[in-house]
Structure 1
Amino acid sequence: MNDSRPADVAAQRCSEADDLLRQNKPVEALKALDQALEADRDCARAIIGITMIAERLTVTKYSKHFDRLILHCLQSPHGNPEALTNPAGHLLQLKYGLPDSQSRLTNSVRTESGLEGLRKDGLLITYLVTTINRNLTLESFLQSVRTEIWHRFTQGRLSGEWQGLIAALAVQAHNNEYIWDISESEREWLDATAEQLERLEGEITEATATLFLVFAMYRDPWELSKLRQRLRERSADRWSPALRFAVDRTIGKRARQIQLVPSIPRLSAAENPTSGSVRQMYEANPYPRWLHVTPALRQVDASYRLIAQYPHLGPLPKSEGPMQILMPGIGTGRLAVWAAQRYHHVQITAVDLSIQSLAYGKYMAESYGISNIDFRQGDLLTLEGQYERIECIGVLHHLENPEAGFERLVSCLKQGGVIQIMLYAEAARRDIWRLRTRLGLSHTNMSFDEIRRIRARILRDDGDLTAFNGLARRPDFHSTSGFRDLILHVQESTFTINRLRRMIEAADMRFIGFEFASSQVMSMFGESEAEQRYRKAYPDERTLSSLSNWEAIEASHPNLFGNYTFWCQRP
C-alpha cells in the first residue's frame, strides 16, 4: 500500500521531469508533469513546467488530453496565460482544422452545429477571456464567427444561450483593444447601435443584454458615456452572468483605474517637446497591454540571480532597509509587479510620463495585493535620488537624446549599483523603417481608426507587403497599443554595439554583460545562438563581457540581436 501524500508524489514526478529536460526529452518530461497533476491538481511546479514545455513544443495533431491539460493550466492561479497564448491558439487551430492562411473561412461556421460546438468549447472560451490572441489564422476564423453571430442577431435568430460565447468574444476585443478589422456594413450597424444604446431606458432585458454584448464584440462600450452612467445606476442582480462579466471587464475595470489617477503623485511636467509627444501617445494607448503575471513560487534576493549569472560582478551596495529599485518608463507596470512578487525586501519606484498607463499599473498591483510599488508620474530626464538598482526596459530609444537619458539614470545610481537597459538594435528595426516608407507613414499621432486600417492593409498584403508578414509573429502586432508602439511610434532611435559601447564609456560605467532569453528563464533548453557564437569565437573569455568582442561578432552576424538587453555597474 502506498501511503505517500499527493504533494510528495507530485514533487517526485516534477523532479523526474527536471531530469528528463536535462536529457532533452520534453515529451517524456511533459508526461511526468501530467502525472504530477494527477496526484495534485494544484501543483504549481507542474503547471509552470507544463507551460514552459508547451511554449517550445511543436504539436502537429490535436489531442483531447492536451486540450484538457492546457485548459487546466490557463484556469489555474499558477498558470501563465500569456506564455500559453501561442500553444493554446495553435491547438485551437488544429482542433477546428484551420489551414495556415488568413482567409476568412466563413463557410466553416455557417451550420448550427458549427456554432454549437464553439459555444460549448471550454478551451476556446477560456482562451478568449484570458489571452490576447496572436494567431492570425484563428483571428480570421474568429472574425468570421463574430460576423455570423452578428448576422444571426440582426435577423432575430440568436437566443440568450449564446451570451457566453458572445461575452467571451467581447472580452477578447477588449483585451486586444478592438484591433480586428470590421466591414463597412458592420461599421454602419455599430454607429446606429451606439445611438440606440445611448438612448437606453428602463431595466436591462435579455434582448438589450444581447444587443450590448454583440456591440461590445466590435467596439469599446466605454465610449458610450450615457450608457456607462445608466449601467452604474442599474442593479446588476438581475443581469445574466455573461452580461455582468462583460460589463465588469470592459467598463468596471476601466472605471476603477480612473479612480486611482488622483492618488498618483506628479514629480515633474514633461517640458521637453519630445517627451510631451511621447506622453500624449501613451495617454491615448497605455502600453504594454498585459492581463496577468504568474505568481512567484517563492521570493528571492534581488541580487541572487544577478550574482549567479555574472560572477565577475563587483561588490554591490549594502542597505539597512529594503533595496531601492527605480523603474523609469514603467508604462502599465508589468515589470514592476513582476519584480515586486519575486524579489524579497525591495521598494520599487515606478515612474512614467503617462498617467493612464500608471493607473493601469497601480490597479493591477492592487489586484495582486502588492503594496511595495510607488507609482509616480514624471519625466526620466528630471529624475533625482539614489538607488541601488535601476531597470529601464525599452525606454531610452524613445528619447530625443538617449545618451543624455542614460547619463541622468547613472547619476541616480549609488556607487556599486547596477542598471539594466534594453535598447533597439538597428538591424532588427530595418524592416519597420522599410514598412513605414512603403506605406508612406508619418510619425505623428494617429487616430484609432487609422491604426486599425494600417494593420488591416498589412494583413491584406495588397501587392508588395509580403516581406513584412513576419511582423505578425511579434506579440505587439496583436493589440492596438502594441501595434502603435511597434510600428507607429512618434519617437525612435536605434543602436549598434558600437554606439552602445561609446554611450557606456562616456558615462564611466562598467559593462557587465548581455542578458539573453535562456538566462532570463533559467531553463534547461540551452544557450542562445549569440552566447554560443561568443564562446566559440573567444573560448578564453568566459565572462562574455567584452563589447569589442561582441562588436566583432555582430559585424559578421548583423541580425544576431533583436534588441540589446544588458547590465552595467557604477564603479
Structure 2
Amino acid sequence: MARKQRHQNSHGHTSKQLAEQQSPMVKTAMEYHRSGHLDQALIIYEQAYSVDPENAEINYLLAVLNNQLQNLERAHKYIDKAISINNRNGPFYCALAETYRQQHDFLPAITTLKKAISLDNHSVEPHIMLGMIYKSMDRLDDATNAYQAALVIDSNIAEIHNNLGNVYRNKNDFERTIKAYKKAIEIDNRFAGAHHNLGCYLLETGDPYNALSFLRNASQLQADNSLFTADLANCLGQVVVTETDERLRDDLIRCMQLDRVDGGTLAKNVNVFLKQFTPLGKLIGEIEKDIFNPLSPETYQLLVDPLFLLYLEREQICDPELEKILSTSRKIILEMSVLESHSIGPNIERFLSALALQCFLNEYIYIENESERSKLKILEERIHENIQGNSEQLCVVLVYACYRPLYTLHLDNSLMDLVSSSAEASSREVFKRQIKEPLTENELKQNIKQLTSITGEMSSIVQAQYEQNPYPRWLYCDHPQSTSLADYLYSLFPASERGNNNLPDRVNILVAGCGTGLQPIRDARRFLHENITAIDLSMNSLAYAKRKATEMGLENIEFMQADIMNLKDYNNRFDFIESFGVLHHLEDPLAGWKVLCRLLKKNGVMRLGLYSEHARKAIVATRRYIQQQGFTDNLEGIRLCRQAIFALAEHDPVRSVTDSPDFYSVSECRDLIFHVNEHRLTLVQVADYIKQLNLEFLGFEFPDFHTIRKYQECYPEDKQALNLELWDAYEQANPETFASQYVFWCKKIED
C-alpha cells in the first residue's frame, strides 16, 4: 500500500509559500484543507473563486481538493483553467495528471507528468506519480526508473523507498523489497504504511514471526485503520504461541473486537493462550477431580477473563476441554438456580450472557441429561410465575438462554424489556440474537423470490437438512479491499497475463449455493460488480443471508430460492460464478457443473470448492462409524455421537474429526459427518471434468503461499503449478493438502 499522497500543493510550491501569496480567506481554506476538513475548505475556496475566478492558484487548489473528493469533472475544469492562465507551472500539470490517473487514463497522465518534469526537473513529485502510474500499468522497469530518478533528487523521502519496495515486490525480488521497506522505516519510523507493507510481505513469504512486530507497529501507529488490524489478525492466526506475552493478549483482544475480522482466524491461538498462559487451564483439572464450582469467587474471576468473554461472545469455541468447562458451568448454575434455598445472584450476569451467546452460536450442541431437562422445565415455570423485573430474575432468564433460544420462552413484555434494556451490553446482545434477529428473518422470508421449483428427490432431501440447520451460522467476516476481478485473479496467479482475461471492470456474479450469505457478502465487498445473484435451496438460509447483507448495507445482492438443476432454462449470463462446497452434494456433480457452465459467459471464470477423496478418509471412517453405531442426524443424535467420539482413544482415526472447527456446532457438525449426500473426487477426476466441459484450469487458491512453494520444490518443471496429474501425486504424498476442499479457478474458453 502506498502512503496517501501528500497534499498536492507540495508540487513545487509548499503550502507555506502558497499561503504567503494568498488572501486571508484562502489561507483559512488552506488550513482547513491541510487539517482534513475538506468540506469546509471547499466552501471557502469556492467563495474565494467567486471573488477572483482568474486566480490560477485558487483554481489549482480547487482542482487538488476535487481530486481528493473524487469530483473528477470539476477537478478537470479547474486545473484546465489554471493551466490556461499559467502554463509554466509544474505542480499544475501534476494536478492534471492526478485527475487522469484517477480516471485510469494513464497515457495522457504520463505525457502530462513529463511536461511537469520538463518545467521543473528538481521536483520529486512528478517522478513519484510516474512511478505509481507505471506500476498500475505493470510497467515495472519504468516504475523502478521513475522512483530511482526521484531518489537522485532526494533520497531521504520514506514514501519513495516504500513505493519502490512495492515495485520490487511485484518483481518477486525478495532482497530489494525488504531493503526498500526497511529504508523507508529507517527514514520515518512512524510510517505505518511501510511497517504494514513489510509485515505483509514477510507474512506472504512464510515468516509470520518477524512479520508480527511490523504489523503490530502498523496497527498501533494507526489504531483506527481496520485493514491494518485485520492483517495483524491474519498474522496472529499463523504464528504458534509458545510463551506468554501480554502484548499478545492485547493484540488478540484488539483483533477480536473488530467486526471485519473472522474470529476463526484467531481461534486456535486464543485457545492456546487461554489454556496454557492463563489460570483458566487449571479449571480442567478441577472438573476431573469433581471440585469445580463456577460460582466460587476465585473460579468466577477466571471465567470473566476479558479475552475469554470476548471469545465466547464472538466465535464458537472449538476445543473439547473448554467445552467441558462451559457445559459443566452451565449444568451447575442451572442446578443452583432451581434450588429454593439458593440464589444465583445478579453478579454472574456478565458470564451468563456470554455463555448464552456461545450456546446459541453453536446451536446448543452441548450434551444435556434428563436431570437438566427436568430442571429446565422448573426454571421455565418460575420465570413465568415470578415476574419480578430485577437483575436476579434477568440472570434466571439468561440461564434458560444457555439451554434454549429465548424466542421459545414466549416472554411477556416486562421480561422482554428486562433483557433488552439491561445495563450489560452482552445481555442486550442476547436479546438481539435470540429474539430480534429470528423475528427479522421470519419477516424477510416473505419477500424472498423463488426463482425455480425444487423438484428432484435429492434436492428436496438436502433442502430439508438446511432448512433445519442453516449453514453456517456466522457473525463477522473479513472485509477485503475492493478490486476488479481481473486484478484479483492476477494477485492469485501472477504468472498469468492480466491483459488476456477479457473481464469487464464491473462484473455480474452468480453465487450458486450461497447458504447463509458469507460468500456473496465477501464477493460484494471484494469485487467491483454490477449485480450479484445468490441462490440456495434453503429459505431459512436465505433469510439469514439477507439479514446479514442488510445489516452490512449491501442492498445490491439479490437472494433467491432455486435448485441448480432447474436453472437449465434461466436466461441470465454471468462473468463470474462461484459455487463453493455445493456441487459435491448434488445427485450428479458433473450435471450441476454443466448447468453452471451454460450460465457462464465466454471468458468468464468460476471459483469452485469440491471435496477430496484423499483428504476425507477420516470423514469417511467417521460416517461409517456413525452408521454402525446407529446415531441419528437430529440434535440428540448429534450430541450423543460427539460424546462417543470424544471418548475414543487418541490414536483412533475417527477421533481426528474433533480437530475440525466444524465439529463444534450443530449445523456444521451435521454438514461435516452427517450430510445426507456427499461425493468426493480425485484430481484426476477433476481434470477429466474440466476437459469434458471445455474449461481452462487457472490454478488452486490457498490461504498462503507455503503449499505452492512446497509443491514447486517437488515439481520445479511445473512453473505455473497447473498440472493436475502432478498435483494428484503430490496430494497422495501429502493427503492433508486439501483437507477442507479443492478450491480452484477455471475459465470458459468458448461457448
- Tell me whether the two structures share a fold, i.e. TM-score over 0.5: yes
Residue 523 of structure 1: aligned partner: none
In structure 2, how many angstroms separate the alpha carbons of the residues matched to 1:52 and 1:559? 21
Aligned residue pairs total: 552
Residue 397 of structure 1: aligned partner: 584
- Residues 441 and 274 (structure 1 numbering): CA distance in 2 closer, same or farther, change over 3 Å? farther
In structure 1, how many angstroms separate the alpha carbons of the residues matched to 2:329 and 2:523? 39
| Kept after mapping to 2: 8 A contact 1:42/1:76 | no
The answer to which of 359-368 and 145-154 deviates more is 145-154
In structure 2, how many angstroms separate the alpha carbons of the residues matched to 1:306 and 1:149? 52
Mapped pair 1:568 → 2:738: no
In structure 2, how many angstroms separate the alpha carbons of the residues matched to 1:413 and 1:115? 58
Give the unaligned 5+ runs of structure 2. Answer: 1-184
In structure 2, how many angstroms separate the alpha carbons of the residues matched to 1:403 and 1:422? 13
Residue 453 of structure 1: aligned partner: 640
- Residues 7 and 135 (structure 1 numbering): CA distance in 2 closer, same or farther, change over 3 Å? farther
Residue 540 of structure 1: aligned partner: 717
Alignment equivalent of 1:305, drawn from 455, 478, 488:
488
- Residues 269 and 111 (structure 1 numbering): CA distance in 2 closer, same or farther, change over 3 Å? closer
Residue 415 of structure 1: aligned partner: 602
Mapped pair 1:98 → 2:281: yes
- Residues 308 and 206 (structure 1 numbering): CA distance in 2 closer, same or farther, change over 3 Å? closer
Superposition deviation, residue 358 in structure 1: 0.6
- Residues 15 and 440 (structure 1 numbering): CA distance in 2 closer, same or farther, change over 3 Å? closer
User: Cα deviations across residues 58-110 of structure 1 (Å, max 9, x unaligned)?
Assistant: 11333333222211221134543221222122211121252798994453546
User: Cα deviations across residues 269-300 of structure 1 (Å, max 9, x unaligned)?
Assistant: 2100000000000000000121101233x311
Residue 667 of structure 2: aligned partner: 481
| Kept after mapping to 2: 8 A contact 1:286/1:356 | yes
- Residues 438 and 82 (structure 1 numbering): CA distance in 2 closer, same or farther, change over 3 Å? closer
Give the unaligned 5+ runs of structure 1. Answer: 519-525
Mapped pair 1:47 → 2:229: yes
User: Percent sequence identity over matched residues?
Assistant: 28
Superposition deviation, residue 7 in structure 1: 11
Alignment of 1:420-435 (within 5 A): 420-435=607-622
In structure 2, how many angstroms separate the alpha carbons of the residues matched to 1:413 and 1:23? 35
The answer to which of 107-116 and 259-268 deviates more is 107-116
Alignment equivalent of 1:527, drawn from 688, 699, 706:
706
Mapped pair 1:327 → 2:493: no
Residue 80 of structure 1: aligned partner: 262
| Kept after mapping to 1: 8 A contact 2:575/2:604 | yes
The answer to which of 270-279 and 436-445 deviates more is 436-445
Residue 677 of structure 2: aligned partner: 491
- Residues 377 and 465 (structure 1 numbering): CA distance in 2 closer, same or farther, change over 3 Å? farther
Give TM-score, length-normalised by structure 1.
Answer: 0.88
In structure 2, how many angstroms separate the alpha carbons of the residues matched to 1:45 and 1:173? 30
In structure 1, how many angstroms separate the alpha carbons of the residues matched to 2:359 and 2:565? 36
User: Cα deviations across residues 172-205 of structure 1 (Å, max 9, x unaligned)?
Assistant: 10111111112332222123334554x4575633
**One-letter amino acid matched to 2:625:** R
| Kept after mapping to 2: 8 A contact 1:204/1:239 | no
Residue 521 of structure 1: aligned partner: none
User: Cα deviations across residues 90-148 of structure 1 (Å, max 9, x unaligned)?
Assistant: 21112125279899445354672323313542112111111111122211122233233
- Larger RCO, structures 1/2 (Cα 8 Å, 6+ apart): 1
- Residues 261 and 19 (structure 1 numbering): CA distance in 2 closer, same or farther, change over 3 Å? closer
Alignment equivalent of 2:355, drawn from 169, 175, 178:
169
In structure 2, how many angstroms separate the alpha carbons of the residues matched to 1:538 and 1:265? 49
| Kept after mapping to 1: 8 A contact 2:419/2:431 | no
| Kept after mapping to 1: 8 A contact 2:312/2:358 | yes
**One-letter amino acid matched to 2:659:** R
User: Cα deviations across residues 470-499 of structure 1 (Å, max 9, x unaligned)?
Assistant: 211211111100000000001111101222
Superposition deviation, residue 514 in structure 1: 2.1
- Residues 8 and 79 (structure 1 numbering): CA distance in 2 closer, same or farther, change over 3 Å? farther
| Kept after mapping to 2: 8 A contact 1:82/1:292 | no
In structure 1, how many angstroms separate the alpha carbons of the residues matched to 2:592 and 2:406? 39
Alignment equivalent of 2:405, drawn from 205, 220, 243:
220
- Residues 81 and 439 (structure 1 numbering): CA distance in 2 closer, same or farther, change over 3 Å? closer
Mapped pair 1:374 → 2:558: yes
In structure 2, how many angstroms separate the alpha carbons of the residues matched to 1:552 and 1:102? 45
- Residues 218 and 262 (structure 1 numbering): CA distance in 2 closer, same or farther, change over 3 Å? same
The answer to which of 56-65 and 439-448 deviates more is 439-448
In structure 1, how many angstroms separate the alpha carbons of the residues matched to 2:682 and 2:660? 21
The answer to which of 93-102 and 547-556 deviates more is 93-102
In structure 2, how many angstroms separate the alpha carbons of the residues matched to 1:505 and 1:83? 35
**One-letter amino acid matched to 1:69:** D
